[in-house]
Amino acid sequence: MKILMIYAHPNDKSYNASILETVKENLSPKHELRILDLYKEQFDPVLRFDATHRRRDLANDVAMKHYRDLLVWADQLIFIFPTWWSGMPAILKGFIERVFVADFAYDNTPRGLKGRLAGKAWIITTHNTPRIFLPFAQDYSKVLKFQILKPCGFKAVKVTQITRVEYMTDHERKEQLQKIAKLTQNL
């Protein structure tokens, strides 16, 4: 299987970086892996519209061709990112806005969106929301799953949330990484 990991965290010593390494280390060698680290790539998340940058032309933006090619190449996407202020990091949101565009990722039809992409996705996100507030909190992993990936054609989308990261003990952090390792081994 061809797997593309889309990683969005600016600190290479973060817990998200530990998750990234855990996935890499536990992925079967039978899979082909490519990693897209949006911060290391210095991805420009700014979407521009003007006389030369028209929204209807985004699917042909030469600057985004490499990223579109990666999405088409992959059978499985793995997103790893923190949830900050009830949302994904701006760099990841900008990536979605610039790459998951009409006439590439989906078609607009009279009945709604028709996805052009295919495959599976796994969303791994971390946040500090206390468990008591989870039913009321904005869950950006669900937004990504139901309002972006599924309409773009992804059929199977799994979500793993690691909560209260800032308050976890080292033992709890290791336990969560072990769970991620087991889930990775089952890909």
The predicted-structure confidence for 46-68, as pLDDT tens digits, reads as follows 998 888 777 788 999 999 999 99
Q: What is the pLDDT of residues 57-105, one digit of tens each?
A: 899 999 999 999 999 999 999 999 999 887 899 999 999 999 999 999 9
Query: Does the pLDDT at position 9 exceed 70?
Result: yes
For the chain, the domains span: 2-185
Q: Which two tokens stand for residue 105?
A: 């990722």
Residue-wise pLDDT for 140-162, tens only, equals 688 899 999 999 999 999 999 99
Both tokens of 146, joined, read 């139901």
Model pTM score: 0.94
Q: Is residue 112's pLDDT more than 70? A: yes
Place of tokens 């003990």: 169
In whole angstroms, what is the distance from residue 12 CA to residue 30 CA?
26
Q: 2-185, superfamily in CATH?
A: Flavodoxin domain (3.40.50.360)
